[in-house]
Amino acid sequence: MNAALAAADPGRIIRKHLKLNGSTLHVERLQFPLKDYRRVFVIGGGKASGYMAEEVEKLLGNWITRGLVIIPDYLRARPRGRRIMYHQATHPIPTRKGMEGVLAMLRLVENISRDDLVIVVLSGGGSALMPLPVRGIGLNDEARVTSLLLKSGANINEINNVRKHLSQIKGGRLAARLYPATVLTLIISDVVGDKIDTIASGPTAPDPTTYHDAENILKKYDLWSQIPENARRVVTSGLSGSLPETPKRKNKVFRRVHNVIVGNNRASCLAAASAMTKAGYKTQVLSLQITGEASEAGLIFGSIVRDIRENSLPFAPPAAFVVGGETTVTARGKGKGGRNQELALAAAVKISGSEEVVVGSFATDGIEGRTDAAGAVADGSTINRGLKLGMDPEEFLRTNDSYHYFSRLKDLVITGPTGTNVNDIMIVAAGRR
């Protein structure tokens, strides 16, 4: 887990992908001659955006004119800089602090021109940290929609689909505000498949989704009648054509926009696999695209690690698998927990009684929902130890109370806020027979 987190370090990622050669900024195969621009701005938001921007300023220094980046208010070590300001906001539910940050950010670039370069730093969490509702709805309406979607079992693609159509900057609308400047968006992905239109709700990316898609998602999860009337009215107005759609791929506002993914789940999974290999385990990265209900994924991973241990399939122990992605939890109980903790508890049920097996699952941002845990670790003794304390694992799963289960066993993964976010990582391992 530590190796995976090290690979997701935003400063390390920026140093790897950005180089300054004289007065020319190199990013992958792109080149930006800084002396040709009248001004250089740095803006953005997300869980990793602060440390990304801090490293950008270390590299570019006085080339930067001004900047403002919106970061989570729970970060322990706040990034520092002379030319870039850092505005704190809330996550996962948007509040006025975030909206004030967005308005200040937009004021910074309101007189943008063709001679300017805007570097946008984006990462997971940017959707909540950068709220600016469309006219017709209030911030409380947006927060209510977000809260309902988070509890519904909707995946991040679906949640951000709806968010895009209720925002003035998401879904490519920030790119429209920055036109005709040159825009370089540096992205650390927390989305399965690295879809740039979904990461932080794609503020500088063409949006392939529509109001019709947003309506279908809200109805799919029986939320259409539950969302605030103002939000429903906006979607309905979009469906009728009274409100313009989010900008699409052929729109002129994207002609000078370059979206570059500099960090993602793949690098962290490979780093975890390398660490397991060095520890003596035959290790494979099984998938980077795990989604679905957390408890069901836990049962599957428990089955896999038992097969390694008991049947030497797909290969003999000591062996391990590393998996990346992001599962979901459909909240049916009133307990406390998160997708990684619930996954680990479901796996614990499956591997109960088995020796020399372990399943660990954690969120790389260090925070699961509204808990202080990143995830949890389970082994063959987890369920028996819980029973001795009078805990029925099925009841804790039924009430979505995995946090309190693992807390009593002292098997929570506690990292604190990491200042990065590249999705979740799951590791299963079986020792020698």
Residue 46 clears pLDDT 80, i.e. is over it: yes
C-alpha span between 204 and 198 (Å, rounded) = 11
The model's confidence at residue 144, banded by pLDDT at 50, 70 and 90, is very high
Residues 6+ apart with CB under 8 A from 58: none
Does residue 147 surpass a pLDDT of 80? yes
b/e 112-143 (16+ beta carbons within 10 angstroms → b): beeebbbbbbbbbbbbbbbbbbbeebeeebbb
Average pLDDT over residues 31-35: 98
Q: What span, in angstroms and rounded, lies between the C-alpha atoms of 113 and 4?
A: 40
Give the residue ranges of DSSP H helices in 109-246.
Answer: 126-129, 139-152, 156-164, 173-178, 211-220, 229-240
For residue 401, pLDDT over 80 is answered with yes
DSSP letter string, 97-108: HHHHHHHHHHHH
- Residues 122-136 have a mean pLDDT of 96
In this structure, are strands 24-27 and 116-123 parallel, antiparallel, or unpaired? unpaired
Tens digits of residue pLDDT in 228-262: 999 999 999 999 999 999 999 999 999 999 999 99
What pLDDT is stored for residue 284 in this prediction? 97
Q: How confident is the model at residue 119 (pLDDT cuts 50, 70, 90)?
A: very high
Give me the mean pLDDT over the 303-331 stretch.
Answer: 95
Residue 200 carries which DSSP code? G
